Amino acid sequence: MEYYLVKWKGWPDSTNTWEPLQNLKCPLLLQQFFNDKHNYLSQVKKGKAITLKENHRALKPAVAEYIVKKAKQRIALQRWQDELNRRKTHKGMIFVENTVDLEGPPSDFYYINEYKPAPGISLVNEATFGCSCTDCFFEKCCPAEAGVLLAYNKNQQIKIPPGTPIYECNSRCQCGPDCPNRIVQKGTQYSLCIFRTSNGCGWGVKTLVKIKRMSFVMEYVGEVITSEEAERRGQLYDNKGITYLFDLDYESDEFTVDAARYGNVSHFVNHSCDPNLQVFNVFIDNLDTRLPRIALFSTRTINAGEELTFDYQMKGSGDVSSDSIDHSPAKKRARTVCKCGAVTCRGYLN
C-alpha cells in the first residue's frame, strides 16, 4: 500500500504522519504532488537513462527533496502574491507564477505605488491650479493651458505621438473622477502576472486579459535619486547585469528613477528591442518638468498570456538613447547582453 507523508497545517514537523491514499481529502495537493514528481523525473530523464514507470518502494531522496522544496516555494509565492495585492492601490489584481525553477520571492524588493524620494529630494505633489471645465473634451482644459493637445480619445486610448507630454486633470480641477482626462492617475486596470521566464530572463510580466492598442497599462515607479547617485549605482548594476535606472530627462537631466529595491509591477517587466509598450511623460499634480511620471502604453493589441516588454533605452521622447553607454576609456561600462530574441535585437541592454 502507498503511504504519503503529511505535514499538518499549523502543526510542527514532529507531528507529521504517514497516511494511506484513502485518508487524503485534498485533490489539489495530490495533483500538485504528482505534477511536481513528474516534472522532476522528466528533467532527470533528459540526462540519465530512467523511465517514468520505474516502481520504487520509496521515492528517491532527490525526488522527495524537490517535491518538498516546490511545495514550500508555492506557499512562499502565494504569501508574496497576497502581500502585493494588499499593498497595491490600483484596480488590477497581481498574480505570481513559477513553473520553471525553484526561485522564490525576491528578498530585497519593496512594493510601492508612487515615487519614493531619496533623502534630500522633495516631490511637491499638490497642483497650484486646475481646470473648471464641465466637459474636458471640448473646453480649454489642463493640456491646453500647458500648450499641448489632450492625450486621449473617448475610448481612453492615447492619440498623441511619443515625445508629447501628457497633462491630466489634477486635484484642483473641478471635473469629477469620471473625467476622460484622468487615466494614468487611476493606476493599472488590468490583471497582470509576475512569472518566471523560461529563456533565462528571470522574472517577467504577462497580461491575463486582452489589452487594446494605445491603452495605459502601468506606471514605472521607484526611488527618485540624483543623476550623480544614478551614475554610482549604474556602475554596480552593470557589473551585476541588471538594469533598473530610468532617466527623467524630459526637460533636464537632474533626476533618475531607480526601481531596483522599490517599485511596482514594472520592476519585473523585461526589455525587448521590439517592445509592445511605449513610454510617455505624464504631469498630474506635480507640474515640475524635471520630475515627470513615467507611463507605459500598449503599442498594439496585446493578447491574454502575452509577455509585456518595453525598450530599456527608450526615453519619453520616443528616441533610442545611447547616453547610458560611456565610450571613454576611463569609464568603460560593463555591457549587458540582451536575450529578447527579437529580429531587430541590438545585442545589448545598454
Cross-strand pairs, 309:
270
Cell of residue 11, nine digits: 502543526
- Is 201 part of any known ligand binding site? no
- Is 26 part of any known ligand binding site? no
User: What percent of the chain is predicted at pLDDT more than 70?
Assistant: 90
Neighbours of 246 (CB within 10 A): 23
Q: Active site includes 110? A: no
- Report DSSP letters for 288-314, one per residue: -TTS-EEEEEESS-B-TTPBPEE-TTB
Give 165-179 pLDDT, tens digit per residue: 999 999 999 999 999
Please give the pLDDT value at position 1.
85
Q: Choose the catalytic residue: 220, 244, 250, 262.
A: 220
Mean pLDDT computed over 307-328: 59
Separation between Cα atoms, residue 171 and residue 183, nearest integer Å:
14
Mean pLDDT computed over 182-200: 96
Q: Is residue 42 helix, strand or coil?
A: helix
Residue 22, amino acid: Q
Please give the pLDDT value at position 166.
97
Please give the pLDDT value at position 48.
56
Q: How confident is the model at residue 332 (pLDDT cuts 50, 70, 90)?
A: very low
User: Closest by alpha carbon to 243, among 266, 226, 216?
Assistant: 266
User: Kind and range of the H or E element at 68?
Assistant: helix 61-87
CA atoms within 13 A on the CB side of 125: 9
Neighbours of 329 (CB within 10 A): 6
User: Closest by alpha carbon to 211, among 277, 273, 280?
Assistant: 277
Q: Choose the catalytic residue: 111, 115, 244, 312.
A: 312
The number of helices, as runs of H, and strands, as runs of E, in the chain is 4, 17
Q: Active site includes 312? A: yes
- Is 133 part of any known ligand binding site? yes
Domains of the chain with CATH codes: 3-87 (2.40.50.40), 94-310 (2.170.270.10)
- Is 169 part of any known ligand binding site? yes
Mean pLDDT computed over 109-118: 96
Give 9-67 pLDDT, tens digit per residue: 899 999 999 999 999 999 999 999 999 998 888 887 765 544 445 555 677 888 889 99
Mean pLDDT computed over 82-92: 97
Global pTM value: 0.87
Q: Is 113 exposed, middle or buried (0-12, 13-18, 19+ CB in 10 A)?
A: middle
Q: Mutual orientation of helices 61-87 and 27-47 as an angle, nearest 10°? A: 120
- Is 142 part of any known ligand binding site? yes
Give 195-214 pLDDT, tens digit per residue: 999 988 999 999 999 999 99
Integer CA distances (angstroms), 239 to 215, 242, 249, 337, in order:
35, 8, 24, 12
Neighbouring residues of 261: CB distance < 8 A, sequence distance ≥ 6: 108, 109, 110, 223
Give 121-164 pLDDT, tens digit per residue: 988 778 888 999 999 999 999 999 999 999 999 999 999 999 99
